[in-house]
Each structure stands twice: as structure tokens, then as C-alpha cells.
Amino acid sequence: MSEAALSAVPLYRHVDRVARGLAAQGIGPGAAIPPEALFGLDQWHYHGIDAIAAAARFLGLGRDSRVIDIGSGVGGPARFLAHTTGCHVTAIELQRDLHEVAVDLTRRSGLAARVEHVCGDALAVELPPRAFDAAIGFLAIVHIPNRPRLLRRLHAALKPGGGLYIEDLAERAPFSPADRQALLTYVHGVSVTTIDAYAADLRAAGFGDVVATDLTPDWMPFAAERLAAWRADRAAIAARQGEGAWAAQEEFYAAIDRLYRGGSLGGVRLTARAA
Ligand SMILES: C[S@@+](CC[C@H](N)C(=O)[O-])C[C@H]1O[C@@H](n2cnc3c(N)ncnc32)[C@H](O)[C@@H]1O
């Protein structure tokens, strides 16, 4: 699967929806951005900033912490962590257009001294050994084909005792060929496995204290409500973000909702410590 396939999935089309969403709040191109103005636009995972705040608590982040964010998107989680805890984040994002939006948003949010954006493949970018206190990955590792290699790299980059906090999709019951195709088409989900297989990859990479939590009972209704709200608010969202952006995300939300309802798709949180 190529980077082109990744950028073609609905969530990553119409990235200008962020700028349009800011403009709807009276924040034009280049203007300073109060962090709160972005919270509804730059958190591309479940439960927005609440999920990131929970990660910060688990990881015990503070001003001296150095964090890696794998698949950082337009930088929402990285900025929220830096803004609320004062930590330093290295935010790694493969897609150049998302990376460039992230750099711009971070500068305009006044967080450039604490969030460093790196454009590259998390499987290949240089990560200094034993340099980081924590690593996070929110709905990103699902896209990365060689998960064992990624986890070994993260383990090597963390200081001994460093924390890992992942939220991701999982295979709850065996995917049918149609499910697999839908995962590829709508999510670019190339590494969706059972929760047990995910936890085993962490242990094989050297992590200890691995705790896996099935989030499906929470995420399934979240996805259904997200889709219903998106459809109900169509006119207002399309006016703010554009009709194309509304339609692309509706396609994505509907596909995810179908997969949950079919019983095969699930969600998982994994926490662990580098041994
Ligand atoms: C669903 S988005 C989530 C973004 C962010 N973690 C958040 O929660 O807002 C997943 C991101 O992972 C990025 N990604 C996928 N494969 C990657 C790779 N090999 N290296 C770095 N980033 C990658 C995608 O381009 C996408 O921006």
C-alpha cells in the first residue's frame, strides 16, 4: 500500500476543512490561534481532547517530559499535550500536506518551541536511542504495515521505564473479505488484528506491564452517534467546512459504523512500559 492510497481515504481529503473551520470562528490565515479554537477540528480520534488528557495523566507528563507522537495528523494531540503539560513533543507525520498544516497551526498557537514536527515514515525516521519519556499513537498505527518493527523502534527510543499509550482499531471477530476491503478503502487499515495479537507484539518488542482494554462497548455507540450527528448537522457543517468535506467524512463515518454493527470491528487501548 502506498502513501497515495493513504491520502485517498476520506478522512485525509479536504484538509482545508481545518482552515475553513477556523475562518468560521473569525480566525483568518496567518492569525494567532487560541488553543480552544482548534479542539473541534484537529483531534482525529475518539473522544477528542478528553482522550489525550487521559493519556497525559497515565504517562505522568510534565515540563521535563519528551514525548513521541506516532502519526500525528495535523498535530492536535501533540499541541494539546504541550499546551496542558508543558512537555516537548516530537510529532511524526507521513503525509506532507498534513505535516505542513500542522507546522502552521503549531506556530500560530505559540507552541513551536515545544512541538517539533517531523515529516516522515515512523518506520524509517531517525529516533535517538533512550531519549524519550513517553510515546503515544492515536488511531495511527492501524495504517502502518510492519507493526512489530515500529514497536521495536519505539522501545529503543524510550528511556527504561518510559510509557507507551496507544488507541487503535482492532479485530473483534474475523473480518470477512468485504470487511477487509472496506477497511482498506475507507481507513487504509493495513494492520488491524485481535487485541491479543496486538498485546503480544508489544511484549515481543520488549514492553512490560502491558494492559489492553477493549474499547468497543464505548466506541461502537460513539461511532453511531457521530454519524447521526454528522447527518443531522449537514447544512451547518457544509457551510463551515465545505460540502465536499462533509460528504467525505460522512462516507468514512458510515463505513466505520457499518463495520462496528457487523460485529467484526472493535477498538482498543494499550498501555505499557519499556522494560
Ligand atoms: C487518524 S490520523 C490520527 C492523527 C492524530 N494521531 C490524531 O489523533 O489527531 C492517523 C495519522 O497517521 C499518519 N500515518 C500513517 N502512516 C504513518 C507512518 N508510517 N508514519 C507516520 N505517520 C503515519 C496518517 O498520515 C494520519 O495523519
For ligand 1, whether the C-beta of 125 sits within 6 Å is no
How many angstroms separate the CA atoms of 198 and 264, rounded? 16
Share of the chain above pLDDT 90, in %: 92
User: Which pLDDT score is estimated for 8?
Assistant: 87
How many angstroms separate the CA atoms of 38 and 110, rounded? 13
Task: With a cut of 80, say whether residue 2 has pLDDT above it.
Answer: no
Q: Pick from 1, 13, 14, 44 the residue to mutate for probing ligand 1's pocket: most ligand atoms within 8 Å of its CB.
A: 44
* H and E: helices and strands count for the chain: 11, 7
How many angstroms separate the CA atoms of 144 and 190, rounded? 7
Is residue 163 a contact partner of residue 60, using CB atoms and an 8 Å limit? yes
Is residue 122 a contact partner of residue 150, using CB atoms and an 8 Å limit? yes
Q: Pick from 1, 14, 72, 101 the residue to mutate for probing ligand 1's pocket: most ligand atoms within 8 Å of its CB.
A: 72
3-274 has CATH 2.60.120.10 classification? no
For ligand 1, whether the C-beta of 90 sits within 6 Å is no
Domains of the chain, residue spans: 3-274
Task: With a cut of 70, say whether residue 111 has pLDDT above it.
Answer: yes
Is residue 123 a contact partner of residue 156, using CB atoms and an 8 Å limit? no
Distance from the alpha carbon of residue 99 to the mean position of ligand 1, in angstroms: 10
pLDDT, one tens digit per residue, over 57-109 is: 999 999 999 999 999 999 999 999 999 999 999 999 999 999 999 999 999 99
What's the average model confidence in pLDDT over 211-232? 98
Is residue 157 a contact partner of residue 92, using CB atoms and an 8 Å limit? no
Question: Residue 211, SS3?
Answer: strand
In this structure, the dihedral spanned by the alpha carbons of residues 253, 254, 255 and 258, taken in order and rounded to 10 degrees, is: 120
Share of the chain above pLDDT 70, in %: 99
For ligand 1, whether the C-beta of 92 sits within 6 Å is yes
pLDDT, one tens digit per residue, over 165-190 is: 999 999 999 999 999 999 999 999 99
How many angstroms separate the CA atoms of 111 and 152, rounded? 29
Residue nearest to atom 26 of ligand 1 (CA): 73
User: Which pLDDT score is estimated for 1?
Assistant: 43
Sheet containing 88-93, strands listed edge to edge, beginning at the edge strand earlier in sequence: 115-119, 88-93, 66-70, 132-138, 158-171, 265-274, 207-214
Task: With a cut of 90, say whether residue 134 has pLDDT above it.
Answer: yes
What's the average model confidence in pLDDT over 143-161? 97
Q: Pick from 52, 144, 167 the residue to mutate for probing ligand 1's pocket: most ligand atoms within 8 Å of its CB.
A: 144
User: Which pLDDT score is estimated for 5?
Assistant: 85
Distance from the alpha carbon of residue 175 to the mean position of ligand 1, in angstroms: 23
Nearest to 266 by CA among 201, 164, 204, 183: 183
66-70/132-138 β-pairing: parallel
What's the average model confidence in pLDDT over 11-23? 92
How many angstroms separate the CA atoms of 253 and 256, rounded? 5
